[in-house]
Amino acid sequence: MSFSDSSGGQTSDSSMAPLAARAYLGVGSSLSPEENILRALTALSGFPGIEVTRTSNFYRTPPLPAPGASPVTVANDPDFLNGVFEIRTELSPETLTLALAEVENATGRVRAANKYAPRSLDLDLLVYLPAGRSSTEGPYPVHRDITTRSWVALPLFELAPDLLLPPHDTPLAQVASTFTDPGGTPDVLFTKRLLAALPQPNNPFFP
């Protein structure tokens, strides 16, 4: 696959997608969440082929018990801090996913058998759109949590209200309307810290 570089030439690299593909990342942490999410922002911003362009509001959400387990099992677990980053990227979805795992690992992420356990950082590729696309039709990943988790759907809707989801081009607005709240409390102060840390702040929700 090739993409145009800034000089107008062509560079071929199988790990690269067309210049300025747009992607949305689910971001979450329950262990030192402020520190680790800010570390993730810094790491992603410095990663070759990735530019973080916007952030949603971030929300503090209670931990979920494993399926079939009693809520008592997570009574002493810390809350999560969850939100969404918008990025521009030259990386393919596969290479981007590997990059996200590398950033997670740098925060000391331990991949326990219980995926509901507290963790230092979650970075999930929610949506990947080649340049000029507003629909996710095609062989590009769409994360299942968009339709099942309010703290994924609503922050994503803040950043991409016109997004259409497969397989029937369902408007994200329709999905977001099925949730009555984000499942947590907005952390306005932390969101403003993230905005201040963006290399080029560009977020319509805050001055």
Contact 22, 87 (CB under 8 A): yes
Element (H, E) at 197: helix 188-197
**Is the distance from CB of 36 to CB of 80 less than 8 angstroms?**
no
- Please give the torsion angle defined by the CA atoms of residues 59, 62, 63 and 69, in that order, rounded to the nearest 10 degrees: -150
Task: Tell me the catalytic residues.
Answer: 109, 119, 122, 124
Number of CB atoms found within 10 A of residue 183's CB: 19
Q: What is the rounded distance in angstroms from the CA atom of residue 18 to the CA atom of residue 4? A: 8
